[in-house]
Amino acid sequence: MKQILRRALLCALAGAAGLYTAAAAVVQPTEARYVADYAQVLSEDTEQYIIEKNQALFSATGGEIVVVAVDFMDGMDAADYAMSVAENWGGIGDVDRANGFVLVYAVGENKVWALAGAGIEDALPASTIEGWLEDDFYDGYDAGEYDSATRAFFDDVYGWYESYYAGSAAGGGQGYYPAGEPDYVYGYVGPAFGLGTLALFGLIVVLVIVVCAADGFRYRRYRRRYLMPGMPPPPFVYRPFIFGRPHRPRPPRPPRGPCPPMGGGFFSGGAFRGGGAGRGGSSFRGGSFRGGGFRGGGFRGGGGFRGGGAGRR
């Protein structure tokens, strides 16, 4: 038994060490928020372009497109690195919609990965992302033209957001409503809960709690009187007030043998499931969105990515 516990503890420590190593290898967000050019391959004009477009994008949809350029990924797989960025940067995109997007590449290792949030990956599958990489990114990237390749791919993704949310709003009012803005400004009327409704709901909750507590008290008395070992069958069947089924006396359980050893394992978490594109290796222009400044500031907690993607590993 001690050996099993010792092995489980060692496995847990090894897993925690692996997670810490992966987190330490991932770069941290910059003050620019939406672009982290640690490889110094992007022009100031492109960085400002990405920032301004993201501000308008978040104001209109809650979506964010993060671009990360590094020299090396410290031996990590490109998909794992992109997932770590998505999870360790405190949430990319709207937390509830999980509609962020991440592009990560390492110029010294020829690794690229692009990853869509869990809330949009069905509408933006890995095959579409891979097509954008093949058509507008890889040629410039392989030629060392990182700036133009990044900007072209960013425009592909940004244009998709414009088309997707414009179509969603036209098809059912699924547009984004920034915090602090009244819903009626956008033609949306949410549920109205007055004080009377809240009071009635609270009264119902209290009533249910009282009934359940009383029922539990009744059953404990019934059990002490009629269901203890050695007592004869009870004269009547206990019936709860609201929930549950009648409690009938059960025959004694047969003796159980020794339990077989149970297996174990560690579960991997995360909000990015699997979608995206890239290779493993050695823009949204104006449109129908309302503009506006960046609201909320920084990356919010959450996640929203479930894994996968496309690119070069």
Determine what percent of the chain is predicted with pLDDT higher than 70. 60
Examine the domain organization and report whether 73 and 202 are in the same domain: no
Q: And the tokens for 123? A: 């509408």
Examine the domain organization and report whether 157 and 237 are in the same domain: no
Examine the domain organization and report whether 207 and 161 are in the same domain: no
Q: And the tokens for 269? A: 């978490």
pLDDT interval class at 285 (50, 70, 90): very low
Please, what is the average pLDDT of the chain? 74
Q: Which residue type is seen at 223?
A: R
The Cα 106–Cα 192 span in angstroms is 50
Q: Are 81 and 112 in contact (CB under 8 A)?
A: no
Examine the domain organization and report whether 77 and 218 are in the same domain: no
Between residues 200 and 232, the one the model is more confident about: 200
Instruction: Decide: residue 308, CB within 10 A, 0-12 exposed, 13-18 middle, 19+ buried.
Output: buried
Examine the domain organization and report whether 29 and 174 are in the same domain: yes
Nearest one of 18, 29, 128, 38 to 80, comparing CA atoms = 18
Q: Kindly report the number of other CB atoms within 10 A of residue 129's CB atom.
A: 30
Residue 17: inside a domain, yes or no? no
Long-range pairs, 218-221, Cβ under 8 A, ≥24? 219/247
pLDDT interval class at 270 (50, 70, 90): very low
Taken in order 16, 22, 24, 26, the sign of the CA dihedral is negative
Residue 293: inside a domain, yes or no? no
Instruction: Decide: residue 219, CB within 10 A, 0-12 exposed, 13-18 middle, 19+ buried.
Output: middle
Instruction: Decide: residue 98, CB within 10 A, 0-12 exposed, 13-18 middle, 19+ buried.
Output: buried
pLDDT interval class at 311 (50, 70, 90): confident
Point out which residues pair with 101 in neighbouring strands: 65, 116
The Cα 176–Cα 58 span in angstroms is 9
Range of weakest confidence among 142-151, 209-218, 270-279: 270-279
Checking if the pLDDT of 21 tops 50, the result is no
What is 232-279 written as a DSSP string? PPPSS-B--SSSS--B---PPPPPP-PPPPPP-------SB-S-BBBB
Mean of pLDDT values over 116-122: 93
* Strand ranges for the chain from DSSP E: 35-37, 65-70, 101-106, 111-116, 310-312
Examine the domain organization and report whether 175 and 227 are in the same domain: no
* pLDDT of 299: 47
Instruction: Decide: residue 273, CB within 10 A, 0-12 exposed, 13-18 middle, 19+ buried.
Output: middle
Residue 263: inside a domain, yes or no? no
* pLDDT of 282: 54
Instruction: Decide: residue 280, CB within 10 A, 0-12 exposed, 13-18 middle, 19+ buried.
Output: middle
SS3 299: coil
| Containing structural domain, residue 45 | 25-188+301-312
Examine the domain organization and report whether 157 and 105 are in the same domain: yes
Total tally of structural domains belonging to the chain: 2
* pLDDT of 224: 74
Q: What is the pLDDT of residues 128-170, one digit of tens each?
A: 999 999 999 999 999 999 999 999 999 999 999 999 998 765 4
Examine the domain organization and report whether 40 and 156 are in the same domain: yes
Residue 100: inside a domain, yes or no? yes
Give residue 242's region: left, alpha or beta (phi > 0; psi -120 to 50): alpha
The Cα 86–Cα 103 span in angstroms is 10
Kindly report the CATH number assigned to the domain that includes residue 175: 3.10.310.50
Residue 294: inside a domain, yes or no? no
- Count of positions (residues) in the chain: 313
Examine the domain organization and report whether 218 and 238 are in the same domain: yes
Examine the domain organization and report whether 218 and 182 are in the same domain: no
Examine the domain organization and report whether 214 and 183 are in the same domain: no
Between residues 47 and 238, the one the model is more confident about: 47
